[in-house]
Structure 1
Amino acid sequence: MTSTPADEFPHKALDPSPASRRVVAAWSLYDFGGNAFNTVMLSFVFSVYLTGTVADDKAHGQLVWSQLQTIAGLVLAVLAPLMGALADRVRRRRVLLSATTMVTIALMAACFWIRPEDSYLWWGAGLLATASITQDLAGVFYNGMLPHVSTPDTVGRISGTAWALGYLGGVVCLVLALFGFILDGGMLGIPSAEALNARSVALLCAGFMLVFSLPIMLLGPDGHPASRAPFRPAAAYAAIARRVARMWRSERPLLHFLVAAAIYRDGLNAVFAFAGVIAATAYGFSPAQVIYFGLAASVAAAVGTWLLGRLDDRLGPRPVILASLASIVVLGLVTVAADSSQVFWVAGILIASMVGPVQSASRSLLTRMIPVGLENETFGLYATVGRVASFIAPALVGAFTGLFGARWGIMGIVVTLLLGLLAFWPLRVEGITHRR
């Protein structure tokens, strides 16, 4: 796909005047609180409780979990652009963000009633699958606020700081869960009978997310309705299709970016999704070592994202994305070649420190390219295209693992990131991505 220099597209949706510090802080804290769901509920604690304790058979539990998460991804792919178009039409981003966030919090809290009995497996997996849909829809509205809380000179720093706070929030909530509820009976002394301690983690995450979401619900940029005409989903999908066709004709750099980013974002997601599994199966990490590795990786990701977010504003997001992706590819190759748990530890931490910067810089780059009034629709397309490509890394990880063994699963991630890097490379966006 050819692309033209993006200096034809000025900082379209970005507000030229900065938002107040308290609005920026409120927006950033939402990332801090929201990652309790991703880190604790989906990755390290409650999903493990569902598949390993609630389910009578772990393999069956993992199958149910994967099936419902796949369905959730398909539903999100359908709903994300529609909800984004709705937000751009009614211009009530704060209201929509608050509604989807509160539903997510309620679904997390409801997980407290998932008892350690196999009959509760589908209920628990269903609650979290539904919560993953509402959480990602909230992310569409949340990202759509970025142009209104940042300026052309601060978008990279603000995006990077918030993304780093997200990793940090996940670490804080995970530590609270582990030492307050799970390990050695937990400091709070909640009994383990009927898995009450593990179930209570759901209430912790719901409360954590609620506290840090309240500021944006009160202070987040909202807007006024763009039209009083009724919103019709069928017409909205037709408009989205026309938008994609228009992007092919006159906004090809934006379309180019959406496609390339979908590929490498799938690889980035696979880094955290498969790192613990590979650590345990290929390098013999114990469950405790996997958790500590996950904590170290999350801290490294937070630090890397915060630091490179500053370079985003100075050099532009494109160099940050290219350099980080290339570094991850090289480190992945070194890890496979070395076949050492020590190298895996060091390389894994370094890789984690570069995952967040790519994600954050991608968000800031997209923000710089969005046409005015189409912020949420475009972020909805961003989510949808990402879901469409979400099979690439898991398929390649499975293929390399099946052919060569568990350690070679890393190559599936490396190949995915390399494909994304090669797809992104021709895009030229320097004209709009550096501080003037």
Structure 2
Amino acid sequence: MAEIGLRKRIWGWMAFDWATQPFYTLGLTFIFGPFFAQVSLEYFSTIYADEETAKSSSQATWFWGQTIAGLLIAFTAPLLGAYADNTGRRMPWIWLFAILYLPFTWALWFTDPSGANIYLILLCFNIAFIAAEFMLVFVNAILPSLGDKDEVGKLSGNGASIGYWGGVAALFIMLLVFVNKGDGTTILGNPPALGLDPETSEDFRAVGPFITIWFVIFMVPFFLWVREPRTANRQGGVADAMRDLKQSLIGAYHRKSLLNFLIGSMLYRDALNALYVAGGVYARLVLEWSIMQILVFGIVGAITAAIATQIGGIFDKRLGPKPVIRFCCYILIGVCAIIVGMSRESLFGLVAFADGSAMPDIVFYICGAAIGGAGGAVYAASRSMMVRHTHPERPNEAFGLFALSGKATAFMAPGLIAAFSTVTGNTQLGYIPVIALFILGLYLLRFVNPEGDHAQWSKSAVPLP
């Protein structure tokens, strides 16, 4: 087999973001998430007479599912990463979770519009989510082998940006071809493609097969061009992985910069993921947007994310990832404050909106653009910062710890939102804890070395065949 050049390996690595982003853009945030909120609201409206209680229960159900998935990822990703490092293999794991991912994304097609099977569908969605996150652990671990510490920030930003453009393309296809705008036709004036019946929500349920097919097609460059780093094919078992993981955790405890980064990023990424999950659900339950409005909102956010993430990668290369993360977190704190303080009637109780005013919609469109732009840049910059703390011979384990820091409290933000929504009986107040998580994450970032501790390990990438 001819040797695959670095350029092709980089493009293959970036193809993963393009292939998987529709799951997050269409599934988690802008189509299936809001659709699930609508379906579960129908279900809970048959149980609770009070509309606000039904809404808060719908929101809580979605976030409890995310909470359980986050816990499973948090406690298994580092161990899988350590095991993969011991065996020197990561591609078989990516294949395994790719195969697991496919049937459970397709299963979203079987969502009952009456809400009769919401818990089964929620289970399927979160199994697919877990599979996607596990793939991401091993794909991120390839990043240090693609360039030195001065290049990985730009590579990370470009990869994430390409992913967001994939989300934009997928949203446009769904909007133009499949999703009806309320009158049984798409915005092009045609019935949904493939004979999909809007009366049984087939146009929204089709998001599952769409995500599956998209993934199958666009993962081809990844599997063709990405290769394992040249490492010894060690045959360590689970016991060895547990021992090495324990040593890594002890080592992380004694590395001040790494420890503060892992804990700080754990908090602000948890808050960010909650915003991603919440965007469409908030729009549906608080602002009472149609799915079509949420799709347009998603396009605005995804385009902003694609542009801002690439710009963030440029600033990462010039200034390092830490200033990029800080700036983006300040923007996201402001967005959270608006989410808590805005309804269709007023903003913070100080600015009243007239009946039928478009101002709440305009404000939330701006918030969506900010979430997309700042969120994309902070994700890419955090990935770049982790490379600066990564031992070149243990990248899977390092990014397993990165996944742990991103998921160890992934149950916390959804759980707090679910708890606050349940206790207060108010959808908006459920987002107050997210602000606290961003502030705590920013505080801990003060103790992170902008250059990490990468220099003590290696100044060059791990060689590839």
TM-score normalised per structure 1: 0.84
Contact (CA 8 Å) 1:26, 1:215: kept in 2 or not?
yes
Aligned equivalent of 2:333: 329
- Greater alpha carbon shift after TM alignment, 291-300 vs 422-431: 422-431
| Runs of 5+ consecutive residues of structure 2 not aligned to the other structure | 45-53, 186-190, 342-347, 352-358, 460-465
Alignment of 1:188 with 2:208, yes or no, is: no
Shift of residue 73, structure 1, vs aligned partner:
2.1
* 2:157 aligned with 1:137: no
Aligned ranges 1:282-361 → 2 under 5 Å: 282-283=286-287, 285-330=289-334, 332-333=336-337, 336=341, 341=360, 342-361=362-381
Q: Is the 8 A contact 1:181 1:190 kept in 2?
A: no
Identify which of 26, 32, 44 aligns with 2:12: 26
Tell me how far 1:109 sits from its aligned partner. 2.5
1:226 to 221, 227, 232: 232
In the TM superposition, 1:74-113 aligns within 5 A as: 74-113=71-110
Partner of 1:375: 395
SS across alignment from 2:149: coil
Q: Give SS of 1:384's match.
A: helix
Q: 1:425 aligns with which of 446, 452, 456?
A: 446
Q: Deviations over 1:319-342 (max 9, x none)?
A: 111122223334555674575624
Q: Distance in 2 between matches of 1:400 and 1:118?
A: 24
Distance 1:224 1:280 in 2: 49
Q: 1:255 to 1:25 in 2, by over 3 A?
A: same
Amino acid at match of 2:177: G
The aligned residue for residue 365 of structure 1 is 385
Tell me, yes or no, if the aligned pair for 1:322 and 1:425 is still in contact at 8 Å: no
Deviation at 1:82, TM superposition (A): 1.6
Deviation of the 1:74 alpha carbon: 2.0
Q: Secondary structure at the match of 1:81?
A: helix
The answer (yes or no) to whether the contact 2:171–2:298 under 8 Å persists in 1 is no
Paired residues of 1:160 and 1:309 also in contact (CA < 8 A): yes
Shift of the alpha carbon at 1:380? Answer: 1.0
Counterpart Cα distance in 1 of 2:66 and 2:413: 16
5+ long unaligned stretches in structure 1: 1-17
Closer, same or farther: CA 420–367 of 1 in aligned 2, 3 Å: same
Change (3 A) 1:115 1:364: same
Equivalent residue in structure 2 for 1:211, among 195, 202, 217: 217
Which structure's residues are more often helix, by fraction? 1
> 1:112-167 deviations in whole A, cap 9, x for unaligned?
45555656444322222211111111000110011112222321111011111222
Inter-CA distance 229–346: structure 2 relative to 1 (3 Å threshold): closer
Aligned residue-pair number: 416
Distance 1:330 1:122 in 2: 34
One-letter amino acid matched to 1:37: F
Alpha-carbon contact 2:34-2:280 (below 8 Å) kept: no
How far the C-alpha of 1:354 sits from its partner, in A, is 1.1
1:172 and 2:169 matched: yes
Identical aligned pairs, as a percentage?
28
Q: Is the 8 A contact 2:385 2:452 kept in 1?
A: no
Change (3 A) 1:433 1:326: farther
1:273 matches 2:277 = yes
Question: In the alignment, what sits opposite 1:413?
Answer: 434
1:429, distance to aligned residue in structure 2 (A): 2.2
C-alpha RMSD of the superposition: 3.2
Shift of residue 70, structure 1, vs aligned partner:
3.0
- Equivalent in the alignment of 1:12: none
Counterpart CA distance in 2 for 1:246 and 1:22 is: 35
Distance 1:161 1:295, change over 3 A: same
In structure 2, the CA distance between the partners of 1:431 and 1:365, relative to structure 1 (3 Å rule), is closer
Counterpart selection for 1:45 from 31, 47, 50: 31
Distance 2:274 2:193 in 1: 34
Q: CA deviation at 1:104?
A: 0.8
Q: Is the 8 A contact 1:315 1:433 kept in 2?
A: no
Match of 2:256 in 1: 252
Residue pair 1:140, 1:376 contacting (<8 A) in 2 also: yes
Maintained 8 Å contact 2:66/2:411: no
Q: For 2:372 and 2:236, locate their aligned partners in 1 and report how far apart those are by CA, in whole Å.
A: 45
Distance, in Å, in 1 between the alignment partners of 2:407 and 2:28 is 17
Residues of 2 paired with 1:244 and 1:150: CA distance? 26
Note the C-alpha offset of 1:427.
1.6
CA contact (8 A) 1:156 1:360 kept: yes
CA 1:228/1:235 → structure 2, altered by over 3 Å: closer, same or farther? closer
Question: Match for residue 354 of structure 2?
Answer: none
Cα deviations across residues 347-392 of structure 1 (Å, max 9, x unaligned)?
A: 4423431111111100011012101211111111111232222244
Q: Are the aligned partners of 2:31 and 2:294 in contact in 1 as well (CA < 8 Å)?
A: no
**Is the contact made by 1:97 and 1:217 (CA closer than 8 Å) also made in structure 2?**
no
Q: Deviations over 1:7-54 (max 9, x none)?
A: xxxxxxxxxxx9622211111121011011122223333344455448
Amino acid corresponding to residue 377 of structure 1 in structure 2: E
- Does the C-alpha gap of structure 1 residues 431 and 57 become closer, same or farther in structure 2, counting only changes over 3 Å? closer
1:19–1:150 CA contact under 8 A, matched in 2? no
Tell me, yes or no, if the aligned pair for 1:32 and 1:169 is still in contact at 8 Å.
Answer: yes
Q: Output the CA distance in 1 between the equivalents of 2:241 and 2:89.
A: 17
